Structure 1
Amino acid sequence: MPDSPAVVLQDVVKRYDGRAVVDHLSLTASRGAVTAVLGPNGAGKTTTIECCEGLRAPDAGTVRVLGLDPLLSARDLRPRVGVMLQDGGLPTGVRALEMLHHVASMYANPRDVAEITERLGLASFARTTVRRLSGGQRQRLALAAAIVGRPEVVFLDEPSAGMDPQSRHAVWELVRELRADGVGIVLTTHLMDEAEDLADHVYVVDHGQVIASGATADLLHAGPSADGNRTLRLEARAGLDVEALARRVEAGPTTSPTSAWTVTETQPGSYSVTGPVDPSTVAVVTAWLADESALASRITIGRRTLEDVFLDLTGRELR
């Protein structure tokens, strides 16, 4: 039904060697919207998407794509779903444009191949075999193959990986048009600016579970400031006492002295102060640095980003 969600997962579990890589995970992706599934490496997001695509069978829970089971109704779903894998999944010995024409011929009402070729700049490598394409060129061809059949749902895995800025923005514009046409889009990416720019709704996954979800704007604006938090970034000598800095900032004077603040050393010598940052905060920080006999090589203030939210939720340790 047109008003039903594009994708619904309820309490999905998938185990490997007795370990749950997807652990009672639930999410909903709407039609005419971009839903981003974000997480560190090994968080379980790829396995989750593979269950949606019918590539893996969950051990428990239910998966529905356009109201159908992707395993039991694979034949019915195949013409209605587009899939773009991170590694492309393309035959390597065929020429790029020949492959796209072949894929288009499998659908009853495909998009115009010439139009997609122009939109994604495929003409420059149309006669090149897939194995000789660059990573970014393969990604553009894989995206073209995923959408040429006019799907109702598209799964995009790292859609702009390896692309130059021009190609990346062309892909983003095409994704927005698909959304405007009512297509449900499920996006996995490690590029937080890509997710922030495109996603209507975000699920953050770690250890196989959803640890945060919500509209992108709500996640960015969560916190004590009604108009959203900002982040002060500071570069100084490594090893400063961030807890002491947090106490100093909270003590004021600031316009929101009772607000909760987050002060972290993001890497040696780089610090972030997150909260309703204002000019008085800069004065407090610089005064504290003077007391610590530490000089800052750079202080910048910017809005809180989805990357800030992601790191706060999942930590900064390497996986």
Structure 2
Amino acid sequence: MELEHQQQQQQLGCGKSAVVVPHGISLREPRLEDLEELSNMAYQTYAHYNKSVGIPIEVAFDSPQTAWTMLHLFITSSSRIGVVAVEESSGALLGAAFTTTGGEVSGVGPVFVDPTRQSKGVGKAMMQELIRKAKLSNPRSIRLSQTATNTTSFSMYANLGFIPVEGWMEFAGIVTPKNAVIANSAVGFSPLTGAKVCQMEEKDISACAKLHLEALGYDREEELREAHQKGFSAWVVTQNDEIVAYTTGLNLLGHALAKSEEALVFLFTEVSQQHKSGRLPAIHVAGRLYPLLVQWFLAAKLKLLRVQWYMVMGFYQAPQHSIVWCPGGQH
């Protein structure tokens, strides 16, 4: 705990950091009129990099249209702030970066730079400005997930003060009843009995928020309410009238918590089997913390899509009280 306290003081308690902007470039807030250009750039950036290392593109940016939907949400959301880099001579957009704001933890992402303008200091300048803006709301920490194969972005984040605290793996697919039995047998999990899964309701939010605070030391009730209001992606598992697991969505941004590994795999299995069409359900497993879960999802025949670093500036508390935590793509 003392180490965590020292890290918080060193990273978020220090003085203002200078924002170094390359010559001929300016930084400003994103605007709705930027959407089309930024959407095409985000898609091209993620598609270009992911193809180069042989991993599938993130579902939020697998086409200009899906990128537009995600970025529109971020630009218009009162709980997110952004930074756009602009070439002063032409007015062309060079990149963008976003973070959540207003809570105890700010979650960074996405961050992208035009593939033809990378390695010129644009990404670093945007991140410095984003960190400066995020600190204005006095968060306890700033967090992000970074693709493990991208050593360039890892080095940039590390040089800015982010510390890699966990590594997580993204698994996607549908768990069949037969494969659930095989996976349980492979790792020695017992089937969860007397449990049921249903969509999150208003009455569930406070219990889910309490579970998150108990496990990770900071509050996410506002985000839980947002997930519930979407009406289709948030789920809970109850056993003996007690919530034993929940997720805000089995997708890029969704996180999950459970009181046991058996409750976590029950949640994923039951929700995945209700999947009808579109993108496959996905979950992020912190491999150092839960090696048996990694083995379970592989034994259940899910596909491993990517490996990420979970990086933190400031406060970080590993999950407490044996609670299982599967992070979202931001935090």
TM-score w.r.t. length of structure 1:
0.28
Structure with bigger RCO (C-alpha 8 Å, 6+ apart): 2
Structure having the higher helix fraction is 2
TM-score w.r.t. length of structure 2:
0.27
Radius of gyration: which is bigger? 1
